Amino acid sequence: MTDGPRTGSVREARDYGSGWIAFAGAYLLIAGIMNVIWGIVALSNKSAFHEDGLVWSNLNTWGWVAIVAGGAQCLAGLLILSRRFAGQWLGGIFAFIGLMMSFLSAGAYPLWSLLAIAANALVLWAVTVHGDEFDD
C-alpha cells in the first residue's frame, strides 16, 4: 500500500471541485461589486451611459435596482464562500437575476454588461454543477 492519494478517489474529486465553489463565491462578490459601482455611476454620472439604450425605465430606476441586487449578490457570495446551503440557492438566484439585468441594460453600457454576464454565468454554472459540496 502507498500513503499517497489514489487517482480517481472521492477525496481527490471533492478537492478538485472545492476550487469551483471558492471561484463562484469570489466571482459573485466581484459581480455584486460591479453592480453596485454600475448603480452608483448610473445615479451620479448619467453622461457615462446611453439612457436610450435601456429596454425599459430610466437610469435612476436601474441605478437603484443595480445597487440593491449588487448588495444581495455580495451577501450570497459570502454565503457561498462559507459553503452554506442557502448560499447555493441565493447565489444561483442572484446570479440569474444579475444575468437578466445585464441583458436588459446592455444597451446603456455594452462592455460592462458583457463582463457582468460572464461573471454571473460562471457563478451560475459553478453552484449548479458543484452543488453537492455545500453544507446541508
Looking at the domain assignment, is residue 9 inside a domain?
Answer: no
Q: Is the pTM of this model over 0.75?
A: no
Residue where the block lists cell 454600475: 38
**Domain total for the chain?**
1
Contact between 122 and 87 (Cβ < 8 Å): no
The parent domain of residue 64 ranges over: 14-133
Residue 4 lies in a domain: no
pLDDT tens sequence for the chain (136 residues): 555 555 555 455 455 456 888 888 998 898 889 889 988 988 887 666 666 666 666 777 888 988 999 999 999 999 988 888 888 889 889 889 888 888 887 777 788 788 888 888 988 888 888 777 666 5
Q: What share of the chain is helix, strand, coil (3-state, %, to 5)?
A: 80, 0, 20
Q: For the beta carbon of residue 2, count every other beta carbon within 10 angstroms.
A: 5
